[in-house]
Structure 1
Amino acid sequence: MLQGFVPFPPEFAADYRAKGYWRDQSLAQEFDAVFKRYADRVALVDGKRTYTYADLDRITDNLALNLLELGLKPQDRVVPTLPNVAEFVILYFALQKLGAIPIAALVTHRYLEISQFVNLSQATACVYPETQGDFAFAPVIDRVQAEHASLKFRIVLGKAGKGEHSLVELIEKPATLKRSELEKIRIDPTDPCIFQLSGGTTGIPKLIPRTNNDYAYNSKVASEAAHVDGDSVLLLVLPIAHNLPLACPGIQGFMFNGGKVVVHANTRPEEMFALIQQHKVTHLKVVPALLIRLINDPSIGKYDLTSLKQIQSGGQRMQPEVRTRTTELIPSAFVQENFGMSEGVLMFVGFDDPADVKLETCGRPICPDDEVRLVDDDGREVAFGEVGELTCRGPYTLRGYYGVPEYNARQFTPDGFYRSGDLMRQHPSGNYIVEGRKKDLINRGGEKISAEEIENLVLMHPAVQNVAIVPMPDANLGERMCAYVILHAGQSLQLKELVAFLLTKEIAKFKLPERLEVLTDFPVSTFGKVSKKALGEMVAARLAQEQAATA
């Protein structure tokens, strides 16, 4: 067992096994059967490249053996920052066969995040594209490797330079090791198979250990709730390593059922419509901001979208008007609201729920043993219909973040319920409604940004005396980021100057403030703390005034 990993208590693990949630098989074993069962079916499409299940089995065997020969070992941690390409899927399953553990990083992450992930996990390998837009990864990985002795292997999707190995070559080069070497590897199904990333409020993200047992069940129960079968075709344009595209039901769930996954590396509406028509896509995953773009794109009427059966929306609450308009434009598709977290529990709206329930709620837990309590600030359960913080535990909800016992003591109740920081109330139907959050986060189009992380960076600017980062409402993305600052005497600061400064800190661009407000003092709560609620109301009022003035 990895030091720093918090396992499920034995009595709960025994119960989950007895009820059939846990099969005590590694993901490698689970998908060994899947690849053979559906051998001749098409599993994966990336542009003009098509892979059957048998192809994936053969290719991932070969890559796993080459990685083993390179020096990767079971339980080694690997940081892949790849776009939505077939190579990510191939790498993911190869790492599962090897027993190595991927960290669910994004291609938009930069030096600060990659360095943190390597440090937190003591990763031995990074896998990255040669470039993403105008950004070159190699100089960043050079620095990360110089700072972290654990990082031994650098694998690039593109032309390999000094000290790098080519991912394509590792995939295509015939392995010299025999497949029996993989068969010798013993993977404990109660060990982590991936580290997802928290949207936590602290400056450093937390690693979420998802075990082989719980992650397989997570995808299977989610595929049942999403009505996935062997004829289902999924189009994936959301970042591929996120929990929703990967496992809810995502790549795993569709492949468990012998379905097809089409990956695409951008979210241009007309390209997506063309792929839906070409591949007769049945399932599409979106965040509300993306769906708003799709239904407002003039090319939507040019394509046959009647194959779509389900549009699964997550990441943030969707306005009922968006769902209603989508149904008018694509009447074949059920717009399924869901609430999920990389930490575990998933809630889906049911296909058979009444119309008002579909419009107003984010669903209900999809497993009978998802235990949910809504509690007040003192940890007491609130009355039915009242707002409380979502706390939860169950067969696929973590029991602790990796390597942070002090933080875990605050985030989990003594009886193992995870304190999510999300505020909810229960609808008369039994479904749940999201009412906000206790966490200090900005939810920008489904990407959760820690306010504290950005505040710490803004405070480094020589003109800034104090800062408060708050969300501001946005019709498309849900929220954008506003930076309220107090400046040192005699100093001035413009948004473009602040953004230029933050870019020198090498963070992902989606974390940059999009509005700057300068104050001489911050409003405070009755407890003497900065009132971010008041600041949020101030910027919302200012935006409303500006919109009214331009109307």
Structure 2
Amino acid sequence: MLDGFVPFPPAFAAQYRAAGYWQDRSLAQEYAAVFQRFAPRTALIDAGAQGERRWTYAQLDAASDNLALNLLDLGLRPQDRVVPTLPNVAEFVILYLALQKIGAIPIAALVTHRFAEISQFTRLSQARCAVYPARVKEQGGEFRFGPMIERVQAEHPCLSLRLVLGEAGPGEHSLTELIERPATLARSALSDLTIDPADPCIFQLSGGTTGIPKLIPRTGNDYAYNSKVASEVAGVTQDSVLLLVLPIAHNLPLACPGIQGFLFHGATVVLHASTRPEPMFQLIQRHGVTHLKVVPALLIRLINDPAIGDYDLSSVQQIQSGGQRMQPEVRIRTRQLFRNAFVQENFGMSEGLLMFVRRGDPEEVLLETCGRPVCPHDEVKLIDDDGAEVPDGEVGELACRGPYTLRGYFGVPEYNARQFTPDGFYRSGDLMRKHPSGNYIVEGRKKDLINRGGEKISAEEVENLILMHPAVQNVACVPMPDAALGERMCAYVIQRPGRALTLPELVTFLQGHEIARFKLPERLEVLPDFPVSTFGKVSKKALGERIAAQLAGEGG
């Protein structure tokens, strides 16, 4: 067993096996059956800058086999950790499948992550391999990954393999070439490997409120079930077509049901890296897309784009929205424009638990709630600060356990002791209220996070960096309401005597610390002092109310 991994207790594991949730097949075995059953069907369409590239299930199997063998030849082994930071391209899917065939463990990093994050992931996981594009476009130019990964490697000698998407430079191997170059190892080298489905198959990433993201171990057993049960609730069949523009490694796009759930059913996944509305409309019309995954900010952009009436969107059957609460007005307007689509709000966490609204739920339930758990063995309770359950209808912190919810973050026993109850319930930090229907309503959170369009930003992580600025005496980062993204970050600062700070200066300073762009504050407010709570702590609640009132006044 991997050191630092917290397994499911044996009694619960036996329960989940007896109920049929866990099949004791590795993801490699799950996919092997899928590839054989659906061999001639179209599995994947990459609608990217290179023009449309297509793979059948048989071709996807062969490509991932070949890559897996070449990675074995380079020394990658079961349980080795890999940090891929790839955009929405077919090579990510081929790599993900190849790693499952080896039993290596991908870490669900994003192409938007930079040195601060990738260095942390590498250190936390002791990763052996990084996979990255040569360059990506970003505001103001382009970003080259190679020099950054070299610096990560210099800091963390465990990182011995660097794979680049495209032409390789010194010290790199080309992922493109490894996919295409015929392997010299025999196919039996893969079948000889032993992969335990009770071991981690991927590390997803927590929102993290301590400034250091936590690694979420998902096992072969629980991650396969996660995708299968989500597929049932989302109505996925072999005739379904998913358009995926959300970041590919996030839990929702990858596995809820995501790429994994659609492939399990012999369906088709269309990948695209742009969230611009018109290219999405074109792809929906061209490929008869049946399922969309969105965050509310993206959906608002789609339904307000003037080109929406120029395309036939009648194929869309289901629009799955997650990441933050959708306003009822957005749902109603979406139904008017996507006339055949069911708008399925969900609440999900990379740690496990999924809640979905269902077709047939009453209108009030659809408009007000985020759904209910997808599995009969999902155990949910709402608790107060002392761990006691609150009465139905009152607000409490969501605590949960079940067949696909983690029992501990990787390698942080002290943190786990605080985040899990003695009987194994995960304390999520989300505040909820139970609706009379049995569904749940999100009421806020205890965690100190800003939810920017579905990306969770740790306020403490950014505050710690801002405190390093010579003009800053104290700082508090709070969410400010935003019609499109739900929330943006406002940084309140107390300046040092005789010093001054502007937002552009602060942003430039933070960029020097190489954090992901989505974590940068978008407003700066200077105060002589901060409001405090009755316990003497900075009252972020008061600061949040202050900026909300200020924005409302400016809007008026």
TM-score, length-scaled by structure 1 = 0.99
Q: 2:66 aligns with which of 62, 65, 88?
A: 62
Question: Which residue matches 1:4?
Answer: 4
Query: Is it true that 1:29 corresponds to 2:33 in the alignment?
Result: no
Q: Which residue of 2 aligns with 1:243?
A: 251
Q: What corresponds to 2:428 in structure 1?
A: 420
Q: Which residue of 2 aligns with 1:282?
A: 290
Distance 1:158 1:511 in 2: 28
**Aligned-pair distance for 1:449?**
0.2
1:25-104 equivalences in 2 (<5 Å): 25-47=25-47, 48-104=52-108
Does 2:233 correspond to 1:225? yes
1:10 CA displacement: 0.1
Which segments of structure 1 move beyond 2 Å, counting only runs of 4 or more? none
Partner of 2:510: 502
2:384 corresponds to: 376
Letter in 1 for 2:514: E
How far does the alpha carbon of each residue in 1:250-269 deviate from its partner, in whole angstroms, 9 at most, with x for none? Answer: 01101111100000011010
1:366 equivalent in structure 2: 374
CA distance in 2, matches of 1:149, 1:184: 29
Deviation at 1:546, TM superposition (A): 0.7
How far did residue 158 of structure 1 move? 1.6
Cα deviation code 1:391-430 (max 9, x no counterpart):
0000000000000000000000000000000000011111
Residue 268 of structure 2 aligns with an amino acid whose one-letter code is: K
Matched residue of 2:353: which SS? strand
Helix, strand or coil at the partner of 1:384: coil
Three-state SS of the structure 1 residue aligned to 2:474 is strand
How far, CA to CA, are the matches of 1:266 and 1:182 in structure 2?
35
- Offset at residue 331 of structure 1 (A): 1.0
How many Å separate the matches in 2 of 1:366 and 1:328? 27
Paired letter, 2:136: Q
Other structure's SS at 2:528 match: coil
1:517 counterpart SS class: strand
Amino acid at match of 1:327: R
Instruction: Give the one of 419, 437, 443 matched to 2:445.
Output: 437
1:328 equivalent in structure 2: 336
Matched to 1:75, the amino acid is: Q
How far apart are the structure 1 equivalents of 2:412 and 2:174? 34
Aligned residue identity for 1:468: A
Matches within 5 A, 1:328-477: 328-477=336-485
User: After the TM superposition, which residues 106-125 of structure 1 pair with which residues of structure 2 at under 5 Å, given as runs?
Assistant: 106-125=110-129
DSSP 3-state at the match of 1:281: coil
State how 1:182-197 maps to structure 2 within 5 Å: 182-197=190-205
Cα shift at 1:356:
1.2
Question: d(CA) in 1 for partners of 2:186 and 2:143?
Answer: 38
- Displacement of 1:223 after TM fit? 0.1
Letter paired with 1:406: E
Report deviation, 1:450. Answer: 0.2
Letter in 1 for 2:31: F
Amino acid at match of 1:29: Q
Give the aligned CA root-mean-square deviation in angstroms: 0.4
Alignment deviations for residues 231-274 of structure 1 (CA, whole Å, 9 cap, x no partner): 00000000000000000000110111110000001101000000
TM-score normalized by the length of structure 2 = 0.98
Q: CA deviation at 1:355?
A: 1.1
| Per-residue deviation, 1:455 | 0.2
Query: What is the rounded CA distance, in whole Å, between the counterparts of 2:65 and 2:362 in structure 1?
Result: 47
Q: Secondary structure at the match of 1:132?
A: strand
Q: Distance in 1 between matches of 2:338 and 2:24?
A: 41
- How far, CA to CA, are the matches of 1:332 and 1:274 in structure 2? 17
CA deviation after TM superposition for structure 1 residue 352, in Å: 1.1
User: After the TM superposition, which residues 507-522 of structure 1 pair with which residues of structure 2 at under 5 Å, given as runs?
Assistant: 507-522=515-530
Deviation at 1:294, TM superposition (A): 0.3
How far residue 330 of structure 1 moved from its aligned partner, in angstroms, is: 1.0
> Alpha-carbon deviation of 1:71?
1.0
- The one-letter code matched in structure 2 to 1:67 is L
Shift of 1:200: 1.6
Return 5+ residue gaps in structure 1 as ranges: none
Distance in 1 between residues matched to 2:10 and 2:75, nearest whole Å: 34
Residue 216 of structure 2 aligns to a residue whose secondary structure is strand
Q: How does 1:84-233 map to 2 (within 5 A)?
A: 84-133=88-137, 134-233=142-241
* Identity, % of aligned positions: 78
Aligned-partner residue type, residue 354 of structure 1: P
Structure 1 residue 206 displacement after superposition:
0.1
Residue correspondences, number: 548
CA–CA distance in 1 between the matches of 2:448 and 2:326? 20
User: Offset of 1:371 from its aligned partner?
Assistant: 0.1
Partner SS, residue 344 of structure 1:
coil
Structure 2 CA distance for aligned equivalents of residues 301 and 507 of structure 1: 39
